[in-house]
Amino acid sequence: MSAAATTGTYSPAASAGEKRRERKEELRRHLAEDADWPRADGRSFHDCRPAFMQTGPTTAASGSAYAEFGKTKVIVSVFGPRESKKTMMYSDTGRLNCNVSYTTFATPIRGQGTDNKEYSAMLHKALEGAVMLHTFPKTTVDVFALVLESGGSDLPIIISCASLALADAGIMMYDLVTSVSVSCFGKNIIIDPTSDEEAWQDGSLMVAYMPARKEITQLTLTGEWSDGKITNAVELCMDACTKLCDILRERLKDASSLAE
Amino acid sequence: MVGLSEGEKHFIRGGIAQDLRADGRRRLQFRAMSVETGVIPQANGSARVRLGSTEVIASVKAELGKPSILHPDKGKVSIFVDCSPTAAPMFEGRGSEDLSAELSVALQRCLLGGKSGAGAAIDLSSLIVVDGKVCWDLYIDGLVVSSDGNLLDALAAAIKVALSDTGIPRVNVSLSAATDEEPEVDVSDDEFLQFDTSSVPVIVTLTKVGKHYIVDATSEEESQMSSAVSVSVNRHRQICGLTKRGGAGLDASVIFDMISVAKHVSQQFMSVLDSDIAAAEEAE
């Protein structure tokens, strides 16, 4: 009985680990060959995943947006401007309150998304430079982001989706903020990485950019990078951000023409 | 928050524009630094770093643990920063949570490298004792004792010094015949292995005030900043981490310029730090 039970035991963690290791081996092989390898989803290195974005999924919010990039699915609601909490000190500029949460089923291992505690602060930093906070003194705008499914490049997608939701809510902004990240493997740079690619990357770089003002609002980098590679990666991201921003503008135009 | 009058703000901004700051420094000049090692006897390594009136303590503790299933060939490093309410009243209770989290994340980003372990300051595979069974868990804790700006640079410097002070006990493993069993580990009390800190980077934060940027800003100067970029640079002049603070957007060319300035400044800072470490170890 016990022997049969052991052979029939199903252990997801170990097999998942094995599968990942296989993929890692494959990546290693590609790196050794140093050739352009096909990515798991058939993209080339500098291709982004197709972006699907839509405004207004939640009706209770002042503005909301839904974004789907490959497997990554994010929903952002914006509430306000509404009166700041009584405990807050008086402020003659508005407040931007950002919160990012993950559903428990967003990641392959349940509840793992809570690792990303810093995302709320990062979202705030990426957006605060774009929102005209002086236009709503004494009040707070809440930005709540929920990651339904985590499929890589979560934070950049949250940022882009949040700026679309802010625009949908009619919050005054200097410009839309879009964000794109890249992963580096050896000397190769790949754009818009999936979670598998992120798990084995040598380094990553994320840019949040205001295309019309040509300003970078947030930039983070991990891993070891040379000067030239940073320049290349940042320029690649800025170009992708500009294109993503056009998509955001299209969506906003669609929404307003529907309203008429 | 620093309360400043209009006149004081004008004075600080004007001074920075003229390359003569309120305390007589140039724009790219650090405050006097003092370094002390071995300040916490219970820890495997520790250091106190003072930069002007900013004071931070870093401690490194090593404990034996079990590697994670996903990375059986790697040890674990965790970095935490705590801001003591003795440094500033606003750090009381949950007031320091955001700042602590921000500093911890920035340090993790700079020290731990990419997911694959490339570019990491601490080689995680050097922390392994028995593959898949026993590894060292390294706990790096930073404490802000007194806060007068430029906490991130001071903390990174303190961690670098603490790591160079760290001795990891030598372990003797007696593997039993059955590989499934837990190996017996004998931790030596008097034999220590020195930690290789040659690849630990330093962080240089460039704070942009007006059109110019300064290093090692005091909290008065930080209150006048539009944005700040923290760049971590290692001995090989490679960038191994970058974070931006402050709301204002920056043009890409300004960021590239800041990176090259930070690289230049970091090499001087690192040589000062190296000689301070040597002096502190001799004094011990």
pLDDT value of residue B1: 52
In a domain, A78, yes or no: yes
Please identify which residue in the block is written with the tokens 């700042």: B99
Residues of A in contact with B115 (CB under 8 A): 198-201
Listed in sequence order, the DSSP H helices in chain A are 2-7, 12-33, 119-128, 154-168, 195-199, 227-259
CATH code assigned at B85: 3.30.230.70
H or E element in which residue B35 lies: strand B33-37
Of A230, A207, A229, the C-alpha closest to A219 is A207
- For residue B266, what are its two tokens? 């970091």
pLDDT value of residue A7: 42
- For residue A105, what are its two tokens? 């089923």
Q: Which of A175-184, B124-133, B226-235 bottoms out in mean pLDDT, i.e. has the lowest? A: B124-133
Q: Using DSSP, state whether B168 is helix, strand or coil.
A: strand
Nearest CA-CA distance, residue B131 and chain A, Å: 16
Nearest CA-CA distance, residue A129 and chain B, Å: 4
Q: How far is A82 from A79, CA to CA, in rounded Å?
A: 7
In a domain, B4, yes or no: no
Best B244, B258, B259 member to test A by mutation, with max A CBs in 10 Å, is: B244
Q: Which domain holds residue A208?
A: 41-259
Q: How far is B111 from B195, CA to CA, in rounded Å?
A: 14
Q: Do B242 and A219 touch (CB under 8 A)?
A: yes
pLDDT value of residue B74: 82
In a domain, A52, yes or no: yes
In a domain, B186, yes or no: yes
In a domain, B2, yes or no: no
In a domain, A2, yes or no: no
- Mean pLDDT over A169-174 rounds to 92
In a domain, A187, yes or no: yes
Position A2 pLDDT exceeds 70: no
Q: Which residue of A has its CA nearest to B228?
A: A218
Q: What is the mean pLDDT of chain B?
A: 85
The ipTM, to two decimals, is 0.83
Q: Is A163 on the interface with B (CB under 8 A)?
A: no
Interface of A with B in 230-259 (CB under 8 A): 230-231, 234-235, 238
Q: How far is A85 from B254, CA to CA, in rounded Å?
A: 38
pLDDT value of residue A156: 95
What's the number of domains chain B is made of?
1
What's the pTM value of the predicted model, to 2 decimals?
0.86
What's the number of domains chain A is made of?
1
- Mean pLDDT over B234-257 rounds to 87
Q: How far is A251 from A235, CA to CA, in rounded Å?
A: 25
Nearest CA-CA distance, residue B252 and chain A, Å: 7
Of A85, A110, A123, the C-alpha closest to A12 is A110
Q: Using DSSP, state whether B197 is helix, strand or coil.
A: coil
pLDDT tens per residue, range B262-282: 999 999 999 998 898 888 888
Q: Which of A172-176, A194-198, B125-129 bottoms out in mean pLDDT, i.e. has the lowest? A: B125-129
Q: Which domain holds residue B185?
A: 9-283
Q: What percent of chain B has pLDDT over 70?
A: 94
DSSP notation for A179-231: EEEEEEETTEEEES--HHHHHT-SEEEEEEEETTTTEEEEEEEEEEE-HHHHH
In a domain, A11, yes or no: no
In a domain, B1, yes or no: no
- For residue B274, what are its two tokens? 């190296």
Q: How far is A100 from A155, CA to CA, in rounded Å?
A: 9
pLDDT tens per residue, range A205-240: 999 999 999 999 999 998 888 888 999 999 999 999
pLDDT value of residue A6: 41
The residues near A237 (Cβ < 8 Å, ≥ 6 apart) are A180, A181, A182, A191, A205, A206, A207, A209
In a domain, A29, yes or no: no
Q: What percent of chain B has pLDDT over 90?
A: 31
**How many CB atoms are closer than 10 A to CB A161?**
31
Q: Which residue of A has its CA nearest to B253?
A: A231
pLDDT value of residue A3: 41
Position B129 pLDDT exceeds 60: yes
pLDDT tens per residue, range B22-64: 888 999 999 999 999 989 999 999 999 999 999 999 999 988 8
Position B109 pLDDT exceeds 50: yes
Enumerate chain B positions whose Cβ falls within 8 A of a Cβ in A. 69-70, 98, 101-102, 105, 109-110, 112-116, 118-119, 227, 229, 234, 238-245, 247-252, 255-256, 259-260, 263
pLDDT value of residue A15: 46
Q: Is A121 on the interface with B (CB under 8 A)?
A: yes
Residues A145, A158 contacting (CB under 8 angstroms): yes
Position A9 pLDDT exceeds 50: no
CATH code assigned at A126: 3.30.230.70
Q: Do B114 and A210 touch (CB under 8 A)?
A: no
Q: Which residue of B has its CA nearest to A217?
A: B249
Position A30 pLDDT exceeds 80: no
